[in-house]
Structures are given as C-alpha cells and as structure tokens.
Chain A
Amino acid sequence: MQQSSQQSTLMRLRLRLGINDPQVLIVVGWLMALLGFLVVVPLVLVLWFSLRTVGPGQPGGAFTLNNYRETFLNPLTYELLVNTFWFSLGSIAIGLIIGIGFAWLIERTNSPLRNFGFVSVVINGAMPASMFAIAWVLVLNPRTGLLNMPFTQLLDWDKGIFNPGTMVSLIFVEGIRLSATIFLMVVGLFRSMDPALEEASSMSQVGLIKTARHVTLPILTPGLLGVVIYIATSTIGVFEIPGIMGMPADIHVLATRIFVATSQSPPDYGFATSLATIAGLLGVVGIILYHKVTKVQQKFATVTGKGFRPRRIELGRRGKAIGAGSIILFFIAGFGLPMAILIWASLIPFYQAPTPEAFKFASLDAYRFILIGPGQYQFLQGLKNSLILIMVVPLVTMLLSAVVSWFVVRGRVQGKSILDAMAFLPHSVPGIVMGLAWLILGLFVLAPAYGTIWLIALAHVSLFIAYGTRTTNGAMFQLHRELEEASAMSGVGWITTFRHVVIPLLLPSLVAGWLWIAIHSGRELTVALLLQSSDNRIISAYVWQQFFNGRLDLAASAGVLLVGIIIILVVVARYAGQKLVDR
C-alpha cells in the first residue's frame, strides 16, 4: 500500500515536471541540489549581507536597505558603472577580434604556424592575470618600460609615450587576456561546424571575406552570442588588471572599488555586497538576453550525423603571410614580451630597465631561494596544491556542465531555464565577493573542509561552472537531436545515450573547456587568497604575497615556473585532446 503510494507520488512528480524517464528525474534532482549548494547558497549570502547593518563575523545587526540607498545616492557608483562599461566594451571588442580571428585562422584555414598559434593563444591564458598585469606595467612604465626605452634611451626623452595607468592601456591588456578565453570558447564551434554552406559559397566564386560575413558568422551567431554575453558579464568582475594598472592612476571599476571596500579594516561589507548585487543584476540581464538567443537554437544546429568533419579553407600566398604574421605578432604581445620582462625581473634583485649596466646584477638567486633555499617549503606546497586544483576542478566542472547543458538545451523539463540561470549567475559576481561567500560557507557550513584545498576546489567549481556550461551549451546547440533520437528509438536509456552519443560528440568542446578551466583554476587568485590557510596556499597566492612583500624577483621567478608548468600542461592536453578527438 505504502509502496504504491510512493510510486504514485513519483508519477505525479514526473508528470508535473514533464519527465518521462526516471533516470532523468534522478539526475535533475541531484543537479538542482548540487547547483543549489554550489551557486545559490553563496549568492544568497552576498544578498543577505547587502541587507544587513553588520558584516559577517560581527555580532548583532538588523535588516536595512541603507546600503543600497547609500550606494545609489553616491555619485561614485555611476562613475564606476561608466568606467566598467567602457572597460568591458573596449576589451571585449579587442578580445573578439583576436579570439574569433584566431579560431577561424587555426581551425578553418591552412595558415602556416597554426599549431604554434593555438599554443600561443592558450599560453597567453596560462599566465596569471596578476603576473600579466605586472609584466605590462614593467613594459609600459614611462621611464623604464621596455616599449618606452627607445624614447628614453635613444632620443633621451625624460618619458616615453606609453603609460600603464590609462584606460586605453587597461582595455588593450584586458583585450589580449580575453582573446584566449574567447578563442577557447569558439574554437569548438569552428571545429565542429558543418562546411556544406561555406563550400557552396566557395563553389559560387564568393570571396573569403564575403563568405565569412554572409555564411560563417551567421551560422555561428547563436554560439557566438552566448560567448559575447558570457564575456561581457565576466568583465564586470575582472579585478587583477584594473587593480594593478588602474588603481595607482585612480582609475576604478566595480571590482576594484569592491576590493577597496573589503580590504580596508574594518571592511565596508554593506557597500561591497550592494555593489556586488548590482553586478549580479547586470548578470541577470545577460542571462535573459542569453535565453532569447537560445530560443532559436534548433535553426542553427550545424552538426548532424553526416558531414561532421569540415575541410580547411585554402589561403593564397598573401593570406598565408598575413596569417603567420598575425600569429607571430600575437605571440609577442600576448606572451613573448610579458614573459621576457618577467624572466628579466626574476634575475635581478630589484627592478631596473634591461640595460647593459643592469646585467651585472643578474643572477639565479631567486630560483635558488624558492627551489632549494629557505623558500622551498612554501613554494613546493603551493605547487602541489595548484596541481590538485588543475587536476580536479576542470574534470568535475566539465562533467557537471555537460549534464546541465543537456537539460538546458535538449531537455523538455520545466524549469530548465532556472538550471541555466543558476549555472550562469556566479560568473557575474566579482570573484572577491564569491570568495567571501565561500569563506563564510567554509566556516559555518563546511567546517571540516575549512583550511583545506578542497574548499578552494569547491569554490572554483562554482566559479567556473558558468564557463563550462557556456562552452557545452554552445556546442550542444550545434548537435542535431537526430543522433540522440536514434539512440532513444533503439531503446537505450538516457545515461547510456549521454555517455556514448552526446559526450563523444561534445569532446572537442569538453577538451577545450577542460583546458581553459585547468588554466584558470591554476592561476586564480582572489578566492584562493581569501580561503588560504597554512596548508592550502597555492602558487598564485604565493606570487601575490611575494610581490607585495617587495620581492618582485621571487614573485617573478615563481610566476615564471608556474607559467612553465601550465605550458607543459597545455601541450600535453592539446596532444591528448587531439588524439581523443581523432579517435
């Protein structure tokens, strides 16, 4: 009797949710619970403290709307919004041009140096944002900056023409940073695009640029719009580059102002969390736009069971030269120049312009200190913890993302848009605020995990699930239902279909997403700084602390080694990923 009552309850639930397969019901239930914990709980904490008179860890307090009143009445808030708008718009424009251009060049053409181009873009993303910003400050400094040296050394000017503390410099540097993310998000789309229409265009004697404009871009539009919305929301929370390059010049964006509010003593949590809520609301606008795009998803499915291996476009001699030149130029700006300056900084005890006179100070002392000297314990501890993150976080995040995306794009379940919104939301909240929320969660809910690397890993999954789902959503749009329907028609269950049909087709995007998350988890700073203890420090936090302790040489040497490790990872992952996809 009791059993039949339970069964009928289950049936009612299935009917209400529109789920026919019990396996799907289980997965949906677990997903909602997991995402709820990883995403909603931290965000509710942010909202909670924006409505309180006292911050976390402070006794007493009451509900108030005063934090919002003060924030909205403060003219600084509007200045921050305007700065954030221009910073986002400018850097996205540069990032899109480079990222999409490179994805097309590398995946769809026969340009020389394609593999080198792929590695160049990805290793650009391998450099921690804080190190990238520090390097570009050293490159652009008016007197000692590498790019200004021709003016100061050869022309004997007092200062050169470049300056790291301008909005243009911030946009340029952030644009280069974003290009790696954009590239990795769209490269899967280009790789798995149906070539039939492009080939038809080419057969009709239509030129490359016209084909790209009228055929390639419209095909990719749904996926690209998802990427643009994702990137736009991500720039709302970007801290490192405006923090290191902009703050000294008094150029503030939302994230740097939140940093100032949370890093003072005592912190102004009310202002910080109300600003973070505004950032979150902007993210909600992004989600709404995103869903408008996904409504027309079926029209844009470009990968079917047939013709799924696009042919490369043949470039002429001039096209090849432009392609190779662009790749080399990007390598210099995105990696070569900043890396060279960091290596130089790691060899000298205090920073000086790289002149012959300064070479007499060069030594490997900093490397000795962190590898075999007194700094060894802390450096190796950080390295071990960073490697744990690099291994665990992307794996968990991409698996979770693939399942979420299936429900969001394919599922016929009610409330699937809630799942998508849940997965996207943390992305729009600045990392520093998410870090604070996870600190509170660690202390009050996940006490056994507090102070361990696993708390940072959980926080990273919640941070990067937005990226994971955007990547898998984009790829899922392009998979036609017919393959899964064929599997279902053969009586195969959802889990088996997902494992043997969906996952293999998503593999290019899963590998690209895995790589991106591995890189970002390995170099993430703000959350790791807030959650660090004596046992779970990671390399990026070590680099940050050395830098602000005045040991640029130690920071640079640890940063150079970290980048080296991530580069090895990228090469291995690229090789292994290619093997997997080819299989």
Chain B
Amino acid sequence: MLRNLRAYRNLARGLVLGALGVLLTASLGACGGDDPTPTPKPKAAAPAAPAATATPVPSLLESLYAGAKAEGEVIWATTDTEKRTTQMIAGFEQAYPGVKVKLITGTSADLTERLFLEAQANKVSVDVTDPGRDNRVVDQGLAEDLTDIVEELGVDPTTVYSDNRIWLKVGVPHAPICNTKRLSPSEFPKSYEDLADPRFKGEIVVENRLKGFIYLTNLPEYGDTRPDLWAEDRVVDFLSKVKANDLQAQKGNGTVGDLVASGEVSCALEINLSSFETLRSAGAPIDIVPVKVHSVEPVHHFVPKNSPNPNAAKLFAAFLMGPEGKALWTKVRVTSDLGLVQDTDYAKLVKSKGSKIVAPGTEMNDHFKRLTKVYRTAIGIPTG
C-alpha cells in the first residue's frame, strides 16, 4: 500500500515536472531567438501639421537612417571574401554610426536556396543578399522594389535590373593562370588552346562551377554585341579536349589558386582574378595566360521582402550602390559596375597582356543553369 502511495506520489511529481517542462519550453520559445513575425515597419508619419509649422521633409536617406538606427543592425549575406567585406562594413558603420552590420557568408547557391525556404516560412533572416544565378527571386516576387533609392542616387540604369529590384554589386573578371616557376617563359601557354596540348596532361586544375566559361559564352540573345565571346559549341569542344588532359576539378577559387601557387599543378583553366590578386600580392609565382578575351562574373545583390530590418536594409543597399560604396569597391580592387571594369587594376593588368574584358548581359540568367550542366558534363563532373 505504502509502495503504491509512493508510486502515485512520484507519478504526480512526474506529471507536474513534465508540465513545468512544457511551460518552460513554451516560455523559452516565446522569449528566445528571433521574433517569428516580421519586424514591424516604422510607424507611419503622424498626420500632417498645419502648413505654418511644417518642418522640411527629410531626404530618403535621412529617413532610412533614422529607421535603421532604431533597428540597430543590418544582416548582410554575401559570397564575398572577408578582406572585402571587412572594409565595406567598416565604411558603412563609419558613415552611419549606430547601425551595425552582421555578416553571413556562403556560396551563392547556399544563400539563395535558404532564402527560398525562409520566405516560404515567412521568416526571412537577411536584409541584403545574393539572388543566385537565375531569375527565381524575381519570378517568385521575393525582391523589394528599390526604385526610390535608384532615383534618389541616380544609379546607372545599366547596373540595375528587373524593375530596380536587383543591382550589380561587382564584376569580377576570370582568366587562366599558370605557375611561373614550373613553366619557363617559352613553355608558358599563350592561349586557351595551348592548355589542351598533351604536354599539360595532369597539370591543369579547374574551379568546378566553371563560371568563367559560362560567362565566356556568346548567347544568341546578345546578337552582334559581343563578338569576342565563344559560341557554346566551341566552349564544349574546348572543355572536352582539356578533359583528355586529366583535368582536376576543385571547389573554390582559393583552393584552385593555391594548387597553382604551390606548384602542385602548373595551370588553372580559369579562376577569378580577385583570388589571383590575393595570391600574387602575397608573393605567389603565378601569372595570367594572355588569352584574347576574359569573361566577367557579375555578382548581384537585392533586398528581400519582409527582411528583418527593412530601413537598414535599404540604407545599406543605398550605400553599396552609391558613390561611397563604389569608391570603396574600387579601393578593395574590384569594381561596382561592369562599365568600370575597363578602368580597374584588373583591366590594366589584362590589357597589358593584350587581352580584352567582355562583360555578359543579364540574358545569361536564363541560361546559367543549363550551361552549368552542359559544361560540367563536358568535363565529367556529375550533375543533377
């Protein structure tokens, strides 16, 4: 009997503890983490005062800054390197004290696919991010309209797309590179085609996303505007020839650059010149192959709808696409619009080799996924 009593007392204790556990979990859920509901937008302006006492209407940036200060932070999701983001963040925080930039980095695919999930759950966690390599962000109505900023700042219309919802953050040229210690000047390749020569068997690495070749492709939609680019068939033919040289595919431009810089392989079929510059400025014995044309990888940004800090998001977007941001981009050795690509250090470096830089058109968004599959298949990388 006593045992039963004790057992049922323990049962009651267990039930009470369990209930307390549920309550605790619920209260933690209510208190911890982010608020699942979208952050409320700044309150609407109070009804207009009589004309005699009206104060001047603040400019767009001023009102965004006031809202951003109340929000306190902006969350930036980017594919950029820490070297560049650190300087951009410092520049923004100096220009707009009281608004802190929090950073998430990842690949374009990681950032975009996560955003789709977050949008579906109405739990968007980033303020400014990368839209990926296709038009799904715009097609699904996830991008905020930035027309007011574009008009206020007078942003070059050739660098904003999709009704002012996406803007070009940076254009990064790509090129083949080789190790100058492993190859004497006479052995150094002079063209893409040289890299298909059997003497480079086992000596070439390529970044497995092949973006340099995707942007090197001349699309039918371009018409006669980019005659230096390669037709799709030519790219496939070239990649198939290079594959016969036991092409090694690696993830990440940095990894690819390191393999060439260390002398593990002689050449990289293409890497972005930002990674090239990082290595060369550190003393790596590498140089660009003087090919006739260098493609440019455009990196876009947008502000997602229902972002957690809507004012700070637009303010940061304005900073990145405005004159201050452009000046900083140039300082960190990239450029903020494709037109300027021709006047950057990259451009000078490439021109000194007698080459051209050719930027892609936005039409590429409709072909990126397909070309990725075609080109990866050509060098034997499994695709979906």
Identify the A interface with B (CB < 8 A): 21-23, 25-27, 30, 56-59, 76, 141-144, 165, 247-250, 252, 257, 260-261, 263-268, 271, 349-353, 361, 374-375, 378, 439-440, 443-444, 446-452, 454, 491, 493, 495, 529-530, 532-535, 537, 545-552, 554
Contact = CB atoms under 8 A, between A and B. Distances in A.
B104 A532 contact: yes
B284 A350 contact: yes
19 contacts: A21-B7, A22-B7, A22-B10, A23-B11, A23-B14, A143-B264, A257-B382, A265-B109, A267-B113, A350-B283, A353-B262, A443-B117, A447-B123, A448-B28, A448-B33, A450-B36, A549-B105, A550-B252, A552-B254
B132 A265 contact: yes
Interface in B81-96: 81-82, 86, 90
A350 B261 contact: yes
A260 B382 contact: yes
List the 4 closest pairs (A to B, CB-CB), nearest first: A550-B254, A349-B282, A265-B109, A268-B384
Contact of A534 (B81, B102, B380): B102
B82 A439 contact: no
Interface string B214-255: 000000000000000000000000000000000011111111
B125 A451 contact: yes
A449 B82 contact: no
A454 B32 contact: yes
Interface in B21-44: 28-30, 32-36
Interface string B1-19: 0010011101100110010
Contacts of A495: 10
A447 B125 CA distance: 11
Given A143-B264, A349-B279, 10 more contacts: A57-B117, A260-B383, A264-B109, A265-B112, A265-B134, A349-B282, A375-B82, A452-B34, A493-B7, A552-B258
B33 A454 contact: yes
A351 B260 CA distance: 9
Given A265-B109, A375-B86, A450-B125, A491 B3 contact: yes
Given A349-B282, A351-B262, A440 B117 contact: yes
Nearest to B103: A534
Contacts of A535: 102
B29 A378 contact: no
A352 B262 contact: yes
Nearest to A531: B114
B133 interface: yes
Which bucket holds chain B's interface residue count?
A: 35 or more
B379 to A, nearest CB: 10
A551 B254 contact: yes
A266 B134 CA distance: 9
Contacts of B90: 374
B160 interface: no
Given A26-B14, A443-B123, A548 B254 contact: yes
B171 interface: no
A550 B251 CA distance: 10
Contacts of B18: 26, 30
Contacts of B158: none
Contacts of B103: 378, 534
Nearest to A555: B254
Interface string B107-122: 1111011101111110
Kindly name the residue among B86, B108, B249, B264 whose own CB sees the greatest number of chain A CB atoms within 10 A: B264
Contacts of B116: 57-58
B319 to A, nearest CB: 18
A42 to B, nearest CB: 15
Contact of B33 (A249, A351, A443, A451): A451
Contacts of A26: 10-11, 14-15, 18
Nearest to A352: B262
A249 B247 CA distance: 9
Contact of A265 (B133, B261, B278): B133
Contact of B107 (A30, A263, A353): A263
A334 B48 CA distance: 73
B303 to A, nearest CB: 16
B263 interface: yes
Contact of A374 (B82, B117, B120, B248): B82
Contacts of B11: 22-23, 25-26
B113 A266 contact: yes
B323 interface: no
Given A271-B384, A551-B254, A350 B262 contact: yes
A375 B7 CA distance: 57
Nearest to B117: A57
A144 B28 CA distance: 53
Nearest to A10: B11
